Amino acid sequence: MADDFDLFGNPYVTPSEKRGRPEHVPTEESIINIMVLLASGMTNREVAATVGISVPTLRKHYLHLTKKRDVLLNRLRSKLRTAQIKQGLAGNAAALSGALRMLDTVTAEAVNADLKSRAANQSEPRKGYVSKKEQRMESAQAIGGKYAVPSAPRLVAANGRSVAGEPEA
């Protein structure tokens, strides 16, 4: 018997395709779309609902993107800036003007951040503040009598005269 039959006498045909939804295949367009959605601050559940996949499928195919959520915005900006500069070099005057303006902004932001970090690293002396070391030195100088700090020795040269800067007795 060449054909198989089911219990009702109908011919049994083996299915050539798998049942259910076809497996998700990541494309460059979907990767960029998910990068934009993650960079904009959406949660995994919101991104999955927007793209039309489940959260486990999102994790399965785009885990490398979801783990580096903070880096995605910088990557996306760099890709957009590169595309803008390419368009500008190809002859699009508006894109070139925008790219130059963006580069000026980036330079200004870097200088501003550098100045802020330098200002933050410099500590301003507090008015009326005396450090512990200075307090100890002042209290040691204030002690008189038997326990007073001795004065510095008088330097005398070998021939009996005092060294320059020292008053002679």
**Site of tokens 């198989």:** 4
Residue 77 covered by a domain:
yes
How many residues would you count in the chain? 169
Number of structural domains found in the chain: 2
Residue 165 has pLDDT above 60, yes or no: no
* Domain shared by 48 and 82, yes or no: no
Between CA 135 and CA 16 the distance in angstroms is 90
**pLDDT value of residue 158:** 64
Dihedral sign (CA 158, 160, 161, 162): positive
**pLDDT value of residue 151:** 77
Domain that holds residue 43: 24-67
Phi-psi region of 103 (alpha: psi -120 to 50; beta: other; left: phi over 0): alpha
**What six digits make up the tokens of 64?**
């490398």
Residue 51 covered by a domain:
yes
Residue 1 covered by a domain:
no
**pLDDT value of residue 47:** 92
**pLDDT value of residue 166:** 52
Residue 136 covered by a domain:
no
* Domain shared by 82 and 106, yes or no: yes
DSSP element (H, E) containing 42 = none
* Domain shared by 89 and 57, yes or no: no
Residue 157 covered by a domain:
no
- Summarised one tens digit per residue, pLDDT across range 48-66 is 999 999 999 999 999 888 8
- Summarised one tens digit per residue, pLDDT across range 84-143 is 888 888 888 888 788 778 777 777 878 888 888 887 777 766 777 888 998 888 888 888
Which of 70, 94, 74, 79 is CA-nearest to residue 28? Answer: 79
**pLDDT value of residue 160:** 62
pLDDT band at 45 (very low <50, low <70, confident <90, very high): very high
Between CA 133 and CA 135 the distance in angstroms is 5
* Domain shared by 76 and 113, yes or no: yes
Q: Quick one: CA torsion of 64, 65, 69, 70, rounded to 10 degrees?
A: 80
Q: Which residue has the higher pLDDT, 54 or 3?
A: 54
pTM: predicted TM-score of the whole model, two decimal places: 0.42
